[in-house]
Amino acid sequence: MIRLQGVHKWFGALHVLRGVSLEVRKGEVVVLLGPSGSGKSTLLRCVNLLVHPDAGEVFVDGVRVNRREVRPEWVREQIGMVFQSFNLFSHLTALENVTVGLTKVKRVAREAARRKGVAMLERVGLAAKLDAYPAQLSGGQQQRVAIARALAMDPKAVLFDEPTSALDPEFIKEVLDVITELAREGMTMVVVTHEMGFARNVARRVLFMDEGQILEEGPPEEFFASPRHPRAQAFVSKILG
């Protein structure tokens, strides 16, 4: 579904990604772990070309997408993304946030978009908040609207960039529950998170990143119980200790 091959990225003199390769199969949930500044978010953004790799290849559904002939918008339409800071459009209601991609990008008719938007918000448990503006919602509710916004586009995969890091503790569970449910339904997902419980329960595979490289990967039980790479060991003992 998603394949990265030897991806490099520089920000000025900073070498953020140093030859990263990874593959995510259809229906798979992959969790990206690593200390902050290790390149996780940048790697995630290379998948939907919010960041253009300086070298290497990105494939989505078998199509090489980081080349001149492919419009990045076409790639992004097919891959949903959920951000740490929600990034809802503050001048639009919850429902409008969910439907704007349908009506303005996919050119879905208003009424059909509305029906779909309502269904998506119901799915994340926000049927009662259709007409609320982001500023009137809690962080957890905003993030669930953001998830509904991503799902409305019928994405082939969804990227989560620390979806619970900006939330007050009491709202973390409601968001993780929605993401877990999505995983059960077979959505392909790449999740950057510091929620170790979530990684343990939901991820099929854990990737550990540091200094722009993937240092270790494996099933979560194995990774948390006996990390092999010294830096992965240090990381695990720090977060579990």
Partner 1 sequence: MALVIPLGFGIGFLWAWARLSRYRALSWPVLVLTEFLRGVPPLVLVIFAATFGATLLRGVVDNPNQAALLVAAGALALHSAAYQAEILRAGFQSVPRGQLEAAQALGMTPGRTMAHVILPQALRLSLPPLGNEFATVIKDTALLGTVGATELFSMGQDFLGQSDVLGRVVWALAVWVIIAAVYFAITFAVTRGLRLVERRLQVPGLEGATS
The DSSP 8-state label assigned to residue 198 in this structure reads H
Choose which of 52, 64, 91, 229 interacts with partner 1 (CB under 8 A): 91
Q: Are 41 and 161 in contact (CB under 8 A)?
A: yes
By residue count, the chain amounts to 241
- Is residue 88 close enough to count as binding partner 1 by CB under 8 A? yes
Q: Are 183 and 189 in contact (CB under 8 A)?
A: yes
- Is residue 52 close enough to count as binding partner 1 by CB under 8 A? no
- Is residue 149 close enough to count as binding partner 1 by CB under 8 A? yes
- Of the candidates 165, 111, 118, 112, the one whose C-alpha atom is nearest the C-alpha of residue 143 is 165
- Is residue 126 close enough to count as binding partner 1 by CB under 8 A? no
CB-nearer residue toward partner 1: 80 or 227: 80
- Is residue 167 close enough to count as binding partner 1 by CB under 8 A? no
Please give the Cα distance from 30 to 23 (Å, whole number): 9
Query: Parallel, antiparallel, or unpaired: how do β-strands 63-64 and 55-60 relate?
Result: antiparallel
Q: Are 32 and 220 in contact (CB under 8 A)?
A: no
- Is residue 101 close enough to count as binding partner 1 by CB under 8 A? yes
- Is residue 104 close enough to count as binding partner 1 by CB under 8 A? yes
CB-nearer residue toward partner 1: 81 or 189: 81
Q: Count interface residues toward partner 1 (CB under 8 A).
A: 29
Token match 């995630």: residue?
Answer: 44
- Is residue 81 close enough to count as binding partner 1 by CB under 8 A? yes
- Applying CB under 8 A, the span of 9-17, 98-106, 173-181, 216-224 interacting with partner 1 comes to 98-106
Closest distance to partner 1 from the beta carbon of 162 (Å): 13
Amino acid at position 79, single letter? I
Please give the Cα distance from 195 to 41 (Å, whole number): 15
Judged by the rule CB under 8 A, the positions of this chain that interact with partner 1 are 48, 50, 73-74, 76-77, 79-81, 83, 85-91, 100-101, 104-106, 133-136, 146, 149, 153
